[in-house]
């Protein structure tokens, strides 16, 4: 069942805030990573005059995979250091996808490194692989620590697998990933102590230290010190908690000089509420309204222990917030007409954009998909915005068996005249987001004008 609400007034929305800081372009980031990969391969090449025999081929393959794994883990940590230029330019969900894909490469390269090096050394020493494994771990400097690091990385990789990850609470998954830091520290020593590329090559050693110490500095500054600095500057506190629907609450947060955060509609923060049960876990929640009057608002659905506990927050509770992050903002817009497509609680960043994006009457459309009417979060606000702004609001409510596939290209084209000329923003469950993006592309909307972010871990 679909219900349509449309208004006729001629509001133009809120102006976008002036640019803030540097925003890294995804292609530029990938180019830098690729250049580093070439440099690492060149480091191996410069220290390898010749490769001969089975033992030489195995050992050198192990050296290359080890170098690439060590470089890749530094890159992964840098990508997830919450550097504002990356978070706002590349986008949190794209960074997470890169991190997930890169994590598989790190684990695969690390395992290949261990197997190839052990096999190559065993051939050289004319012994078996088991005996050589024992020898390497007990007699070579820092190799035993590197083996422990590999086991930790493999464990993190297992809990991040598609079949296992959905069974974990977000908080559990989040804290298990801190073992990546420990694994990186354990593995670093053997790279310089046993790597032929670094022994006797001072410039290579300095470059490797600079890479790892630089990444460590980013992590310490942005993941640990910046939240404390922002907390001291803005003194965030819970002002009130409003029940929006069964299992859905809005948390209003106030503080000092919030305008200096320069948060934009569509962005999110990682919130840490300083209560006995919640202080230890930061969770990402989008702003569900444009920042105004010294107040930020998030709207959260009960999806687990942490989100469920927010309903019990008391006014005055202190808050730590990291951000703002995210590239799902009006800065990505190039077209005059805009389409917003939301699913479930994914309405929150799009509700803020629905109010704030500059648009003439008839140029702004919101499609909102929910399984039942009770899942239409912030419905009264959406209808008021549509009526005030002359925007179009479509609901698609009901189980899939009843409504079918609401995101076929022809369905979207019929609902949104001139669809291919629209800028599109999508937010919802991963399955829905994938379907909508594919349908928009099939309907002729250029890839560069389709924007989406997901916060599923």
Residue 290 pLDDT: 94
Residue 403 pLDDT: 74
- Report the C-alpha gap between 132 and 116 in whole angstroms: 12
Residue 156 pLDDT: 86
Arithmetic mean of pLDDT over the chain: 87
For residue 254, the SS3 value is strand
Residue 390 pLDDT: 93
Cα torsion for 308, 313, 317, 319, to the nearest 10°? 30
**DSSP string of 76-116?**
HHHHTS--HHHHHHT-HHHHHHHHHHHHHHHHHHHHHHHHH
Tens digits of residue pLDDT in 218-263: 999 998 898 888 888 999 999 999 998 888 999 999 999 998 888 9
CATH 3.40.50.2000 fits 2-16+329-452, yes or no: no
Answer positive or negative: Cα dihedral of 298, 299, 303, 305: positive
Cα torsion for 266, 15, 292, 20, to the nearest 10°? 70
Using alpha carbons, list the distances in angstroms from residue 360 to 301, 386, 388. 32, 12, 11
Enter the pTM of the model: 0.77
Tens digits of residue pLDDT in 392-430: 999 988 877 677 788 889 989 988 999 999 999 999 888
Burial class (CB in 10 A: 0-12, 13-18, 19+), 8: exposed
Query: For the chain, what's the residue count?
Result: 457
pLDDT at 455 over 70: no
Residue 306 pLDDT: 67
Q: Which distant-in-sequence residues (6+ apart) come within 8 Å of 95 by Cβ?
A: 79, 80, 86, 87
pLDDT at 14 over 70: no
Answer positive or negative: Cα dihedral of 230, 74, 170, 249: positive
Closest CA to 99 of 39, 33, 2: 33
Neighbouring CB atoms inside 10 A of 348's CB total 27
Contact 415, 332 (CB under 8 A): no
Q: What angle do CA 244, 245, 249 make, to 5 degrees?
A: 45
Tokens representing 155?
């464990």
Task: Give 355's pLDDT tier (boundaries 50, 70, 90).
Answer: very high
Domain boundaries, the chain: 2-16+329-452, 26-230, 235-325
CATH number of 235-325: 2.40.30.10
Closest CA to 376 of 384, 368, 387, 365: 368
**DSSP string of 109-161?**
HHHHHHHHHHHHHHHHHT--HHHHHHHHHHHSTTHHHHHHHHHHHHHHHHHTS
Tens digits of residue pLDDT in 135-187: 999 999 889 999 999 999 888 888 777 777 666 676 677 777 788 889 999 99
Contact 225, 216 (CB under 8 A): no
Number of H helices, E strands in the chain: 16, 12
Q: Which distant-in-sequence residues (6+ apart) come within 8 Å of 244 by Cβ?
A: 250, 299, 377, 378
Using alpha carbons, list the distances in angstroms from residue 418 to 221, 361, 364. 46, 15, 12
For residue 452, the SS3 value is strand
Closest CA to 304 of 281, 270, 331: 281
Residue 2 pLDDT: 35
Please give the helix or strand (H or E) that residue 171 lies within, else none.
helix 170-176
- Report the C-alpha gap between 124 and 134 in whole angstroms: 15
Residue bearing the bigger pLDDT, 241 or 281: 241
Looking only at the bridges linking them, the beta strands covering 268-273 and 319-325 are antiparallel
pLDDT at 304 over 80: no
- Report the C-alpha gap between 316 and 436 in whole angstroms: 40
Task: Give 302's pLDDT tier (boundaries 50, 70, 90).
Answer: confident
Q: What are the respective helix, strand and coil percentages of the chain, to the nearest 5?
A: 55, 15, 30
- Report the C-alpha gap between 149 and 154 in whole angstroms: 9
The interaxial angle of helices 53-79 and 202-219, nearest 10 deg, is 30
């Amino acid at each position: 069942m679909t219900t349509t609400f449309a208004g006729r007034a001629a509001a133009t929305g809120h102006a976008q805030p002036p640019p803030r800081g540097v925003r890294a372009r995804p292609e530029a980031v990938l180019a830098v990573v690729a250049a580093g990969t070439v440099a690492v391969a060149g480091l191996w090449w410069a220290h390898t005059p010749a490769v001969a025999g089975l033992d030489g081929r195995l050992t050198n393959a192990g050296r290359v995979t080890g170098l690439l794994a060590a470089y890749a883990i530094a890159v992964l940590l840098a990508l997830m250091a919450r550097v504002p230029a990356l978070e706002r330019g590349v986008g949190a969900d794209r960074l997470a996808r890169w991190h997930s894909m890169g994590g598989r490469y790190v684990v695969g390269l690390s395992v290949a490194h261990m197997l190839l090096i052990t096999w190559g050394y065993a051939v050289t020493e004319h012994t078996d692989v088991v005996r050589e494994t024992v020898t390497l771990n007990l007699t070579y400097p820092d190799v035993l620590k590197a083996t422990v690091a590999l086991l930790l990385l493999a464990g993190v990789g297992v809990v991040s697998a598609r079949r296992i990850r959905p069974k974990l609470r977000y908080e559990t998954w989040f804290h298990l990933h801190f073992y990546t830091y420990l694994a990186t520290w354990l593995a670093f020593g053997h790279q310089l102590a046993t790597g032929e590329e670094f022994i006797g090559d001072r410039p290579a050693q300095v470059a490797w230290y600079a890479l790892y110490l630089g990444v460590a500095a980013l992590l310490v500054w942005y993941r640990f010190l910046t939240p404390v600095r922002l907390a001291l500057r803005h003194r965030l506190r819970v002002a009130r908690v409003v029940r929006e629907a069964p299992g859905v609450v809005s948390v209003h947060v106030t503080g000092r000089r919030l305008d200096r955060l320069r948060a934009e509609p569509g962005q999110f923060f990682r919130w840490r509420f300083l209560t006995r049960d919640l202080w230890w876990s930061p969770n990402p929640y989008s702003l569900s309204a444009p920042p105004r009057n010294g107040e930020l608002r998030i709207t959260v659905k009960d999806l687990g222990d942490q989100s469920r506990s927010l309903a019990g927050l008391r006014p005055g509770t202190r808050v730590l917030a990291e951000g703002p992050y995210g590239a799902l903002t009006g800065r990505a817009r190039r077209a005059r007409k805009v389409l917003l497509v939301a699913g479930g609680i994914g309405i929150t960043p799009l509700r803020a954009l629905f109010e704030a994006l500059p648009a003439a009457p008839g140029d702004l459309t919101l499609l909102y998909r929910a399984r039942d009417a009770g899942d239409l979060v912030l419905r009264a606000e959406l209808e008021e915005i549509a009526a005030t702004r002359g925007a179009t609001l479509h609901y698609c409510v009901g189980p899939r068996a009843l409504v079918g596939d609401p995101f076929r290209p022809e369905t979207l084209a019929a609902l949104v005249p001139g669809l291919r000329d629209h800028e599109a923003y999508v937010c919802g469950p991963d399955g829905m987001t994938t379907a909508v993006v594919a349908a928009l592309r099939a309907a002729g909307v250029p890839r560069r004008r389709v924007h989406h972010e997901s916060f599923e871990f």
